[in-house]
């Protein structure tokens, strides 16, 4: 409880840890990479917060391990990878900073356990009223921050200062980063925890992301379909999308976004790519060019891993994969130099080999299977089930984006991603009595 028997306010470590994680999720979702560069490179907010979070978790005491196969598999992946980075730095004499930067793909997973520790203590207070109180406030903060980021990065980027020792402006925007919170809040809206007016704001931001990125469009569409049986608000959303697209077509609206534009042609090209890539290339040549470039890189990684039998170890965690395979697109010796092959699995395969790659895949497979089984077979409160559904679809959307982008290697994505997974571990363990669970019909709003 917040108040002890002497009626004095008590701030517990688990509350501080939960607050820290909530601020991180909101900050990364609202300001993306710009939030991640708070600090002085290479000591940034994600690494500092991880150390503080571990200290708070230890201070809270009574640590418990998630009763999930996926958690145990991740521990294997982490420990196996830890041995590999020691080998990479000590025996292969690869640059230590590069080794640590590449290993971030795995060590950000520690945030999942911090989220589990905090959620296990704090979820006892989660109910419809608590979620209905929190979600609008969090949505306001995230959507406002995202809107500011879009305005600054797309329209005012030439006037923005940069973070020290970097080429990163103080406002940044990336559609694949933005689409995950938008999908999360869509689920929250559909299930009644946000006022109706929020959907117009969310859809406007989705249009920006979907126009600039095929992956964002696919991730949002798949996540929306997988959230479960359609409700009245789901139908409202589909009608709103139909009306918006119709207006774009009727009035031939074209809103320039620098790299691409919001228009019917652009949205059609992005959607058509998944059905007819050649025809999509006629509408937007960048669709096929980018796809071919990625495929060539992934093929080179796969062939080398097969030929050289990278079972227990790959090239090592300190290797720049863009330089090694000849796909570098950025000037050398800069912070933004390309390192990863726009696919998290291929990056792990190239650096760590087959064993750790397969274990990494099994971690996600078992997590998603556990989520489906729990949602289908267990009894949860409406609030718990809402969060589980949102976490499930956001995890799949993250994997879709991570298959075509430098994504799960980045703190602005990976840290909120693993926090949601940790929350999912805790929520799956909070089964309630059938009499207190959501009915088969469900609720339109709490």
Question: What are 296-323's pLDDT values in tens digits?
Answer: 999 999 999 999 889 999 999 999 999 9
The 8-class DSSP code of residue 263 comes to S
Banded pLDDT at 158 (limits 50, 70, 90)? confident
Kindly state the average pLDDT of the residues 235-250: 70
∠ CA 383-360-174, rounded to 5°: 65
pLDDT value of residue 247: 65
Banded pLDDT at 332 (limits 50, 70, 90)? low
pTM, two decimal places: 0.90
pLDDT value of residue 279: 58
Q: Is the pLDDT of residue 99 over 50?
A: yes
From residue 440, alpha-carbon distances to 175, 378, 380, 405 in Å are: 36, 12, 11, 38
How would DSSP label each residue in 335-346?
TT---S-S-HHH
pLDDT value of residue 272: 64
Structure tokens at 44: 């940034």
Segment among 54-63, 168-177, 207-216, 325-334 with least mean pLDDT: 325-334
Mean pLDDT of the chain, nearest integer: 85
Residue-wise burial string across 68-89, b where 16 or more C-beta atoms lie within 10 A, e elsewhere: bebbebbeebbebbeebbebbb
* 329 vs 79 pLDDT, higher one: 79
Q: Which residues contact 168 (CB under 8 A, 6 or more apart)?
A: 33, 34, 37, 162, 335, 336
**Count of C-beta atoms within a 10 Å radius of residue 290:** 15
Kindly state the average pLDDT of the residues 405-413: 91
DSSP-derived 3-state class of residue 43: strand
Provide the percentage of residues in the chain whose pLDDT is more than 70.
83
Give the residue ranges of DSSP H helices in 194-320: 198-212, 214-226, 232-250, 264-272, 277-283, 285-307
From residue 29, alpha-carbon distances to 221, 274, 422 in Å are: 19, 27, 17
pLDDT value of residue 236: 75
Q: How far is the C-alpha of 67 from the C-alpha of 225, rounded, in Å?
A: 29
Contact at 8 Å (CB) between 397 and 223? yes
- Summarised one tens digit per residue, pLDDT across range 341-377 is 999 999 999 999 999 999 999 999 999 999 999 999 8
DSSP-derived 3-state class of residue 3: strand
Q: Is the pLDDT of residue 133 over 70?
A: yes
Q: Is the pLDDT of residue 10 over 60?
A: no
- Residue 188: closest CA among 234, 155, 154, 145: 234
Q: Is the pLDDT of residue 253 over 70?
A: no
């Amino acid at each position: 409880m917040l108040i002890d028997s002497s009626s004095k306010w008590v701030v517990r470590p688990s509350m501080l840890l939960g607050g820290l994680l909530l601020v991180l999720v909101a900050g990364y979702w609202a300001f993306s990479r710009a939030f991640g560069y708070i600090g002085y490179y290479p000591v940034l907010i994600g690494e500092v917060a991880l150390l503080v979070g571990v200290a708070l978790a230890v201070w809270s005491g009574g640590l418990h391990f998630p009763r999930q196969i996926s958690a145990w598999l991740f521990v294997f992946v982490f420990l196996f990878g830890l041995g590999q980075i020691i080998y990479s730095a000590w025996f292969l004499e690869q640059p230590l900073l590069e080794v640590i930067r590449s290993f971030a793909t795995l060590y950000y997973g520690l945030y999942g356990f911090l989220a589990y520790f905090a959620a296990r203590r704090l979820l006892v207070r989660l109910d419809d009223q608590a979620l209905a109180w929190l979600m609008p406030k969090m949505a306001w903060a995230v959507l406002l921050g995202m809107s500011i980021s879009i305005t600054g990065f797309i329209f005012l980027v030439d006037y923005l200062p940069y973070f020290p020792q970097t080429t990163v402006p103080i406002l940044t925007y990336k559609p694949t980063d933005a689409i995950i919170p938008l999908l999360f809040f869509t689920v929250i809206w559909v299930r009644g925890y946000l006022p109706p007016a929020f959907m117009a704001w969310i859809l406007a931001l989705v249009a920006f992301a979907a126009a600039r990125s095929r992956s964002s469009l696919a991730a949002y569409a798949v996540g929306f379909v997988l959230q479960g049986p359609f409700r009245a608000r789901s139908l409202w959303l589909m009608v709103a999308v139909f009306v918006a697209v119709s207006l774009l077509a009727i009035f031939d609206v074209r809103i320039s976004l620098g790299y691409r534009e919001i228009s019917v042609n652009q949205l059609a090209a992005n959607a058509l790519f998944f059905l007819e890539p050649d025809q999509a290339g006629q509408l937007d040549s960048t669709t096929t060019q980018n796809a071919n470039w990625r495929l060539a890189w992934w093929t080179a990684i796969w062939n080398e891993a097969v030929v050289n039998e990278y079972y227990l170890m790959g090239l090592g965690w300190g290797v720049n994969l863009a330089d090694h395979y000849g796909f570098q697109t950025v000037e050398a010796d800069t912070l933004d130099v390309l390192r990863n092959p726009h696919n998290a699995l291929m990056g792990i395969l190239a650096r760590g080999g087959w064993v750790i790659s397969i274990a990494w895949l099994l971690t996600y497979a078992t997590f998603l299977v556990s989520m489906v089984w729990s949602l289908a077979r267990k009894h949860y409160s409406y609030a718990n089930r809402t969060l589980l559904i949102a976490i499930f679809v956001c995890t799949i959307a993250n994997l879709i984006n991570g298959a075509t982008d430098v994504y799960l290697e980045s703190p602005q994505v990976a840290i909120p991603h693993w926090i949601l997974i940790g929350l999912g571990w805790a929520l799956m363990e909070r089964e309630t009595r059938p009499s207190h669970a959501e009915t088969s019909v469900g609720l339109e709003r709490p």
